[in-house]
Chain A
């Protein structure tokens, strides 16, 4: 039918793995933001949810690194991480290979991408699903933008990927939701873990919520690395969602939570 829902959220493993080490009120507010996002997603009655993630070497490595990929399987599993470390139990996730194939064919009209008949989910997808699909009911189609092993695709190509996903979603009879996951500023898995550039995050979210394409594409990777850390490269997933949704964004929650190592974000975007 068309794209029926768009949103973005953080996916840092500390959000679940170190859940109890944040101030309880702050954690509860953040979780409530995810919950508002979940309710909006549910209300859109999606037949499938495309999760545009930025994975961390769960499936892709520098031996053969695709800039863009979409899963094409009837089922997936995750998390790959130790379940106690991540705080999320293993689950089998329903996919839809035939739907994936139709979407991929349309995306390929403008974006060269890898398709994947195997895909294991890491925290980049599992943390969002933990909150957005707690009962494992949704049909999931994973998508990935390489934000981890440079050279990374330029931002305008992430934008083009989002545009292609929109075109593909509009070309199928199913109701399609899309959620981008990542960022915003963070320096994960380093001694700087917990450093967060709130000012930069809020400025980025402002550009994103206005759906200001030029302002979002204006960042260079060198600037992002300096101001928002290597985790900031994951803004590519937010850009793709903005390109797909075309509407205005609504920030359900934003706050830096250092022990979660990220500017914690949950937001939805109008489909226009």
Chain B
């Protein structure tokens, strides 16, 4: 379980303009600095918002990562629903899905 490292990457990307700039230039180089599993690394690089959600990234980090990638709000919500359908329930953290992945609550 390296959810902490994955979360730290999201945190650094959200908060540090230098990391953000380097990420835009060379995603792989930034991601290599964090001790991630292959699955986590792949999810960041793709980017697979749904899988990142299922891996347990705190929504307050993931929401901004999605924003950084230019993903619109409703699209962001849908990608998480799709992620649960594809990869199964959220595996860690405090942001588990409580509705059905087929349900649209709002937005």
Please give the residue numbers on chain A whose beta carbons come within 8 Å of chain B beta carbons, in ascending order: 18, 21, 56-58, 61-63, 80-82, 85, 148-150, 187-195, 225, 229-230, 258-259, 261
User: Which listed residue (B64, B99, B101) contacts A195, Cβ 8 A?
Assistant: B99
CB of B68 to closest CB in A, whole Å: 8
Task: Evaluate contact between B95 and A189: CB separation under 8 angstroms.
Answer: yes
Q: A225-B94, A259-B107 in contact; A191/B14 too (CB < 8 A)?
A: no
In the bound assembly, the distance between CA atoms of A190 and B56 in angstroms comes to 11
The answer to whether A191 touches B84, judged by C-beta atoms less than 8 angstroms apart, is yes
B30 part of interface (Cβ distance < 8 Å): no
**Other-chain residue from A57, A61, A85, A194 in contact with B106 (beta carbon distance below 8 A):** A194
**What are 14 sample pairs from A and B whose C-beta atoms fall under 8 A apart?**
A57-B14, A57-B58, A81-B64, A81-B67, A187-B98, A189-B62, A189-B63, A190-B97, A191-B84, A191-B97, A194-B107, A195-B106, A230-B95, A261-B107
Chain B 2-61 residues near chain A, CB threshold 8 A: 4, 7-8, 11, 14-15, 53, 58-61
Pick from A189, A191, A195, A259 the residue with the most CB of B within 10 Å: A191
User: Which of A85, A148, A193 is within 8 Å of B58, CB to CB?
Assistant: A148
Residues of B close to A225: CB separation below 8 A = 94
Pair A192/B105 contact, Cβ less than 8 Å: yes
Cα A63 to Cα B58 in complex, Å, equals: 15
CA distance A2 to B7 in the complex (A): 41
* In the bound complex, CA of A60 to CA of B76 (Å): 25
State in angstroms the CA–CA spacing of A259 and B107 once bound together: 6
If A191-B77, A194-B107 touch, does A61 touch B8 (CB 8 Å cutoff)?
yes
Contact of B7 among A62, A80, A187, A191 (CB under 8 A): A62
Chain B: minimal CB distance from A18 (Å): 7
A61 shortest CB reach to chain B, Å: 5
Chain B residues 60 to 80 lying within 8 A of chain A, measured CB to CB, are 60-64, 67, 73, 77-78, 80
A196 to chain B, nearest CB (A): 9
Q: If the complex has contacts A62-B4, A63-B8, A189-B63, are A21 and B80 also in contact, measured as CB distance less than 8 A? A: no
Contacts A57-B11, A57-B14 hold; do A261 and B95 have CB atoms under 8 A apart?
Answer: no
Q: Are B106 and A190 in contact (CB under 8 A)?
A: no
Choose from A56, A150, A191, A230 the contact partner of B105 (Cβ within 8 Å). Answer: A191
Is there an interface contact between B59 and A190, defined as CB atoms closer than 8 Å? yes
Q: Kindly report which residue of chain B lies nearest to residue A256, judged by CB atoms.
A: B106
- Alpha-carbon distance between A148 and B53 when the two chains are bound, in angstroms: 16
Q: Is the CB of B81 within 8 A of A85?
A: no
Residues of A within 8 A of B64 (CB): 81
Evaluate contact between A192 and B97: CB separation under 8 angstroms.
yes
Q: CB-CB < 8 A to A81: which residues of B?
A: 64, 67
Report A-chain residues with C-beta under 8 Å of the C-beta of B62.
189
CB distance from A129 to the nearest CB of B (A): 19
Q: Are A191 and B94 in contact, CB atoms less than 8 angstroms apart?
A: no
Residues of A within 8 A of B80 (CB): 190-191
Residues of B within 8 A of A187 (CB): 98
Q: Are A193 and B94 in contact (CB under 8 A)?
A: no
Complex contact B101–A61 (CB within 8 A): no
Residues of A within 8 A of B105 (CB): 191-195, 258
Establish whether residues B59 and A189, one from each chain, have CB atoms under 8 Å apart when the complex forms.
yes
In the complex, A148 Cα to B63 Cα: how many Å?
14
**A21, closest chain B residue (CB):** B107
CB within 8 A of A58: which of B8, B15, B73, B96? B15
